[in-house]
Amino acid sequence: MSQTDPQSNWARFSKRPRRPRIKVGARPPKRGVGGFLATGLLVAMVLGAAVGGVLWSRGHRPDEHFVRAVELLSDYERGKDELQRNYGNAVYRTALGELEQVDPQSASAEPARQLERLITRKIGEFRDRLAEEARALQRAREVREKRITEAIELRRYAREHPRTYYPECEHPSADGHNHTH
């Protein structure tokens, strides 16, 4: 074999495949049913992968209601510590409404349930704290009213029973008895 021969060693190992020689006026080779099935199978695989990807991403993407609830809460709670948060605010009721609408099949279902339980617990604790503060205010009001009532009673008694004898004004005499001057 010579260097110019197409069947030389270099031609056999070249990276680019050689084009088949087609005779002028010749028909293209028949592919038959196998080529059609292979093409159909390839299209079906691509479509199946696309549909599967959409369904998979839908199941793993956060539910829009969960996202909306988290955004509402983060906007309201930003910059507030725990004691500054008013769990009676409509934001929490709105967030609970959003969390109730989360699709149970979505990836956000379990985090939504956990957040819903947390908000419900915080609302309960907030109401308990408000009730305790109201009881403390009521006790303080009762103590204040009792003191005011006692002071009024003491003044009334003092008016009705004026004091005429003041022992602290007396000076003891040399004999040990108190004498009024």
Q: pLDDT tier at 153 (50, 70, 90 boundaries)?
A: very high
| Helical pair 109-160 and 64-77, crossing angle rounded to 10 deg | 30
Total domains in the chain come to: 1
Among residues of the chain, what percentage have pLDDT more than 90? 36
Please report whether residue 81 resides in a domain: yes
**C-alpha 122: how far from its chain's center?**
12
At 37 the pLDDT is 57
Residue 151 has pLDDT above 80, yes or no: yes
Please report whether residue 80 resides in a domain: yes
Residue 1 has pLDDT above 70, yes or no: no
pTM: 0.51
Please report whether residue 95 resides in a domain: yes
- Domain extent, residue 101, equals 64-131
Helices (H) and strands (E) in the chain, counts: 5, 2
Query: Are residues 181 and 171 in contact, defined by beta-carbon separation less than 8 angstroms?
Result: yes
At 167 the pLDDT is 74
Locate 68 and state its tokens: 């909306």
Which region holds residue 113: left if phi is over 0, alpha if psi is between -120 and 50, else beta?
A: alpha
